[in-house]
Amino acid sequence: MRKTLLLFVAILTIAVCLAGPANAASEAEKQAAIASGLAYLASTQQVGGFWNTSGYPIADTGAALLAFEEQYYKQGNTWGPLPNYSSVVTNAANYLLSTVSTANLAGGSAGAIPGFTGTYADKIGTYWGVDEQSYQTGLALPAIARLTNGINGITPSTVIATGPLTGQTYLNLIQRTVDQITYAQNGPGSGVYDGGWHYMIQPPQGDADNSTAQWPVIGLTFAKAVPGVTVYPQTATELQKWITYIQNPVDGSSGYQAPVNNYNNESKTGGLLVEMAYAGGGGNMALAKQYLDDNWLNLANNTWWGNFDNPYAMWSIYKGLAVTIGVDDMTTITNLHANPGDIDNPDHGWNWWEDYCNWLVTTQNANGSWNGYAYWTGVLAAAWDINILNATEVGPPPVTTPEPGSLLLVFGGLVGLGFVRRRCKG
């Protein structure tokens, strides 16, 4: 399969390196970039079904698996003209199933829901990771939840055949992970950290930061879309307290562990929007969006802050804007790069999502990867960038209707090659 993938990447590279007019990224270009990115991911998957360029293979694998799932669903539950990546998905899913950990919730939560011991009589929760558990669980859970939408025939009632939950269903696993996240949320006894999460969710830590807190919330956002999963209202109620505390009341940004002069930046503010959407309140959403608009054009350039060229920030901001204004909105974020012209999307003109897509299409490397920053490089960068290009649905599964012929244009003889003008690197 690896030789096939290399040939696949080579064909795409020839196509996208042909110079054309300097217009906005077309729908066909986006699909070509997605296809090339998926080929890169498939070619770098390890024998055990995982990826590892960040030092956190669970995180890498969860992010990559979601990228494959989204393309499958967007193509109408088929791989379309892409190679059949079913085995890639199966191997990645089996790795995540084999690495999940269990925890005893019998002692009762001292957090947001006093005495909470989970949904099931055995009082067992599940999570991923030895350290940075909130991040790793927040990346693995969305991929497992989305898997149950039918890919490879998997549904919530499918019985798990590997790992600690062998013999139980995917629904059991997803619900147990929701239970662990619920159990770990800080409660009123945590003071200003009430409603938030920190790195560890087994055991709960009693403090919080808003780089971390977005990850349990994004996991809950995907999980609650799975039929049969129960999420607990008090989680949202407590989260509103954390949101209100951590937001800078002047400029709308999110801090790390305090609201002012505490590593406030764009990525945390994108995460704040995700939290606001899940909690249904807390803080000032309009002010958070204004902060992102004011700082939209900031180039990360290998810094912990910024927007463009920082995959972590772009994915965080994408999630926040996708769940609050949608990818078609043209009025909220207006401080954009200059409109290159020729937007061929029938749903909108030049907007925040097109700005992201244009950047990603023009900065993709010839091998299908993207450059990143610090931990956020390699597989994580490629997976998140693919999901941005794919207009990934945050939470509810996508409508399983193929995108209108865009991939067929790319692979059906590369019709109209003049539209392709991606700048090739590497």
How high is the pLDDT of residue 255? Answer: 98
Kindly report which listed range (99-103, 212-216, 341-345) carries the lowest average pLDDT score. 341-345
Kindly report which listed range (19-28, 284-293, 304-313) carries the lowest average pLDDT score. 19-28
pLDDT at 15 exceeding the cut of 60: no
How high is the pLDDT of residue 344? Answer: 85
pLDDT top residue among 224 and 425: 224
Q: How do residues 359-412 score in pLDDT, each as one tens digit?
A: 999 999 999 999 988 878 999 999 999 999 999 999 888 665 444 444 444 444
Kindly report which listed range (60-64, 264-268, 283-287, 300-304) carries the lowest average pLDDT score. 300-304
Q: What is the pTM of this model?
A: 0.90
Q: How do residues 398-426 score in pLDDT, each as one tens digit?
A: 665 444 444 444 444 333 333 333 333 33
Please provide the average confidence, as pLDDT, over all residues in the chain: 89
How high is the pLDDT of residue 221? Answer: 98
**Please, which pLDDT band fits residue 231 given cuts at 50, 70 and 90?**
very high
Q: How do residues 175-212 score in pLDDT, each as one tens digit?
A: 999 999 999 999 999 999 999 999 999 988 889 999 99
pLDDT top residue among 205 and 227: 227
pLDDT at 21 exceeding the cut of 50: no
Q: Return the axis-axis angle of helices 86-99 and 133-147, rounded to nearest 10°.
A: 130
Q: How do residues 24-35 score in pLDDT, each as one tens digit?
A: 899 999 999 999
How high is the pLDDT of residue 1? Answer: 54
pLDDT at 345 exceeding the cut of 90: no
How high is the pLDDT of residue 374? Answer: 81
pLDDT top residue among 154 and 426: 154
**Fold designation for 15-419:** Glycosyltransferase (1.50.10)
pLDDT at 337 exceeding the cut of 80: yes
Domain ranges of the chain: 15-419
Mean pLDDT confidence for 13-18: 43
pLDDT at 12 exceeding the cut of 70: no
